[in-house]
Amino acid sequence: MVFVRSRRSTGLFAGAALGVMLVLAGSAGLLAAIHRLLAALVATMLALVSGAVLLRTLIRLRRWPTARLGFFRDRLVLVQGRTELQAQWELVETVTLADQGDWSAARWPEVRLTDRLTVRVQAGRRFSFRPATFGVEPAACRDLVLRLRDEPQLRDKLPEFDSILDLSSRPLHAGDLARPEL
């Protein structure tokens, strides 16, 4: 399974901004034709504002993160930009949403949960990421990683990882904060 963040809501917002801009521009033209210049000026200014919102939204869509989170039979693969991290299921020690700040001074009642998932692998290496970047709820992502780590028969349902091409050739699960289940 490969998860990515959906662009649907931002695309819908861009379409709505385009529609508002066109309606306001048309209204400004109509008002100018019937010699209501002050109202035409106001409609033109509002059309310019909605055009700026549309431009900003299109820039955000263009810079959308190309992050992918892949669950495979033998490993967890995380790709964010040019960084690729892999963790074999047998090497995963802990998976937590707890704040990874100053643990020396932390006591049990003071543990703070965050939206960052931290995966610690053997040899003391760890990496963290925000599951929401991939369209996955943080708690559901933590639960899925722990289940896949602890249940080899569940991992048998997943495909084998061959190369980075697997992340681009597999069907994507795109959504706004989905709850992944097998």
User: Are 40 and 74 part of one and the same domain?
Assistant: no
The predicted structure's pLDDT at residue 166: 54
Q: 87: which strand partners?
A: 76
- Classify residue 181: in a domain, yes or no: no
CB 117 within 8 A of CB 3: no
Under 8 Å between Cβ of 155 and 1 = no
Q: In sequence order, what DSSP letters do the residues of 110-128 get, joined into one string?
A: G--EEEEEEEEEGGG-EEE
* One domain, residues 118 and 101: yes
Q: What angle do CA 93, 119, 7 make, to 5 degrees?
A: 150
Q: List all residues 6 or more positions away from 143 whose beta carbon is below 8 Å from its beta carbon.
A: none
Q: Are the beta carbons of 76 and 149 closer than 8 angstroms? A: no
pLDDT at residue number 52: 95
Q: What is the mean pLDDT of each run of 10 residues along the chain (182 residues)?
A: 66 92 94 92 94 91 76 82 81 81 59 82 84 82 87 82 58 56 58
Q: Write down the pLDDT at residue 61.
A: 81
Domain count of the fold of the chain: 2
Residues 43 and 121 in one domain: no
- The predicted pLDDT at position 119 comes to 87
Residue 15 has a pLDDT of 93
Question: pTM higher than 0.95 for the full model?
Answer: no
Neighbour tally for 124: CB within 10 Å: 7
